[in-house]
Each structure stands twice: as structure tokens, then as C-alpha cells.
Amino acid sequence: MHTSITSNHTIVQLPQGSQEWLDYRRTMRNASETAAVLGVSPWCTPYQLWLEKTGRSVTKANAAMQRGTYLEPAARAAYEAETGNIMQPLVLQDGLYSASLDGMDLDGELIVEIKCPYKGQASALWNDITVGMVPDHYAAQIQHQLMVSGAKLAHLYVFDGTHGLLRPVEPIDHAFERIRNGWDWFQVFLDSDTPPPLTDADTVQREDGDWLAAANAFAQAKQAADLADATVAQARDALVALARHPKVQGAGVSVTRFWKAGAVNYKAVPELKDVNLEKYRGKLREEVRVTFA
């Protein structure tokens, strides 16, 4: 259900967390996703967002997200007590763009974005706000919120569970343009159902026949190998238990006992404390690891 605010905005009234709400978000250009679209998110790449928006993956709430949800009401109350502003949580839509606001004042001129970092005052975000900095990924989210809401100012409020820090953020026109251009670029990949360019942080998801056949063959072979390894280990233990001399041989099998020097803990060598050991490191080499996801 949508209720008009202005000629350009609507309030979206859907139960958060419901299937309707999740389906709605999948079709919208959401403020919380803009950092990923622009390539400035530390947690999500464009490809990972594409997987989510196309229904190929689902993001599960982690401990940090759960903490933020739990503390948000207390954080908003602390913000209101500190500033005297009365803020209403809202989900706004302007065309293709959506923004879930932690609060907007009655005049619609001020919004608040609340962050409750998991490490509180020991977090990088708390330190950034202390020196007057707003990380790029949060700046992108807030500029998107300002663009959708039409508010004249945003407050980024960082809350540690007891105390809060406030950082004002003003609208930036060229940031709005960058957001629109970024989403237009990303939309092409959604419409064509083709993945965006990959980064080193990406894990490609494959479901084609060739991959499934090779993966199933690997799984079966690995299961057989693990069973063989267990059998070998059991037989080895039996031989070792029977070998009571340092060298025992029979039926083409030998058991030899010997002492091996332990590895050197170079970090514990006082003379090497200030020595840069990197120049003594061997050449970089590629290794391939195949595991079960």
C-alpha cells in the first residue's frame, strides 16, 4: 500500500521481513544496496548483489545486523533525547528508488540514519565519526536516502548501546547523479540476466551441466578416497603398534621410527625482531584448493 507524501514520493507500508516486503525490495533500487552498486561496499560486490537481486542467493542476518536491529529503538530514543527531534521510521519510494529511513521529522526536512557497530566505541566507524569522517559506503547510502526523501539534511547517528555520536550530512547533487548512473549501469545486468564484472572478492556461482557433472564426480571420488584414507590409517596404526624396534620390515612394508627437528619460530628470535624477512621470501606461486562448500 502506498500513501502520497508529495508528487514524487510515497510511503511504502509493508511488514518488514515479510515475503511481500522481500519481493518488493528485490524490484527496487534500495539505499542500502547503493554502496555495492557503486563498488564501495566492504561487504558486497556488484556480482554478489546481482545474485541476491536475481534470487540466486539469500543474505542471512549476522550477529552485527541482529545487534543493529535490536538497538535501533534505543538508539532512536537516545537521538531524540539528545536533539529534541521527533523522528518517524519510514520506507519511502520515488520511482524506481527506495529508502528505508530510521527516522524522518514531521516537516520532512531532516532524516536520521542509525548505526550500532558491533564493537561499539572500539569500532572503525566510531573512530571515523569522532574525527568527522563518514565512510564512503555509508555516505552512498545516506546520499541515496536524501535523494529519495528530498530532505535538506541527514544525521548519521552512531550508537554504542549507551552513548551516541552525531555527524550531519548534507545533500550533494553530483552524488545523486552518480547514484542514478550507477543503478542504470547495474540495471542492464538485471534486465539481461547476465552477471556484472567480477572482482577478486567474488565467488562465481555455477549450476550448468558441465560443472554439476564434474562436481558430482569429485564428490564421489573424494568420498571413496576418504574411506580409503580411513582404512589406510587403521592399517598403519596396527603396524605401528606391532613395530617395537626402531626398524621393522616384512611383506614389503617397513616401519621406521626417527626424531625430526621442530620448525623454527622466527618471531621468537630477538636478533630478527626488526629484520624485514619479506625480501627473503620465495617467489609467489599459485595454488589451487578444491573443497566442499
Which residues in the chain show pLDDT less than 70?
A: 1-7, 15-17
Instruction: Tell me if 107 is assigned to some domain.
Output: yes
Same domain, residue pair 22 and 127: yes
Of 128, 98, 103, 127, nearest to 114 by C-alpha is 103
Domain that holds residue 246: 209-280
Spacing of C-alpha 263 from chain mean position: 37
> Secondary structure of 92-119 in the HEC alphabet?
EEECCEEEEEEEECCCCCEEEEEECCCC
For 13-95, where are the alpha helices, taking DSSP H only?
19-27, 34-37, 46-53, 63-83
pLDDT in tens, 194-231: 999 999 999 888 889 999 999 999 999 999 999 999 99
Give yes or no for a contact between 168 and 113, defined as CB atoms under 8 angstroms apart: no
Q: Which of 159, 192, 225 is the last residue of a domain?
A: 192
Is 184 part of a structural domain of the chain?
Answer: yes
Domain final residue pick, 135, 162, 192? 192
Provide the CATH number for the domain around residue 153.
Answer: 3.90.320.10
CA distances (Å), 140 to each of 34, 49, 169, 206, in order?
6, 15, 11, 31
| Torsion sign, CA atoms 96, 102, 104, 109 | negative
Domain count along the chain: 2
Provide φ and ψ at 176, rounded to 5°. Answer: -60, -45
Q: Are residues 90 and 186 in the same domain?
A: yes
- Provide long-range contacts, Cβ within 8 A and 24+ apart, for 46-51: 46/186, 46/189, 46/196, 46/197, 46/199, 47/195, 47/196, 47/197, 47/198, 47/199, 47/202, 47/204, 48/202, 49/186, 50/186, 50/189, 50/190, 50/195, 50/196, 51/195, 51/205
- pLDDT at position 2 is 41
Q: Are residues 112 and 216 in the same domain?
A: no
- The residue assigned the cell 555509508 is 138
Cα separation, 274 vs 154, in Å, equals 47
Q: Which residue has the cell 538485471?
A: 190
What's the confidence (pLDDT) of residue 119?
93
DSSP of 239-276, one letter per residue?
HHHH--SSEEEETTEEEE----PPPP-GGG-GGGTT--
User: Are residues 19 and 82 located together in one domain of the fold?
Assistant: yes
Q: Any idea which residue has 592399517 for its cell?
A: 235
Size of the chain, expressed as the number of residues it contains? 293
Q: List the beta bridge partners of residue 158.
A: 115, 165
Q: What per-residue confidence (pLDDT) applies to 118?
A: 92
Which residue, of 192, 223, 247, is where some domain finishes?
A: 192
- Indicate whether 125 and 51 sit together in one domain: yes
Same domain for 234 and 164: no
pTM: 0.76
Residue 290 resides in a domain: no
Q: What is the pLDDT of residues 66-110, one digit of tens each?
A: 887 889 999 999 999 999 999 999 999 999 999 999 999 999 999
CB 248 within 8 Å of CB 236:
no
Flag whether 199 is in a domain.
Answer: no
Q: What pLDDT does 17 receive?
A: 66
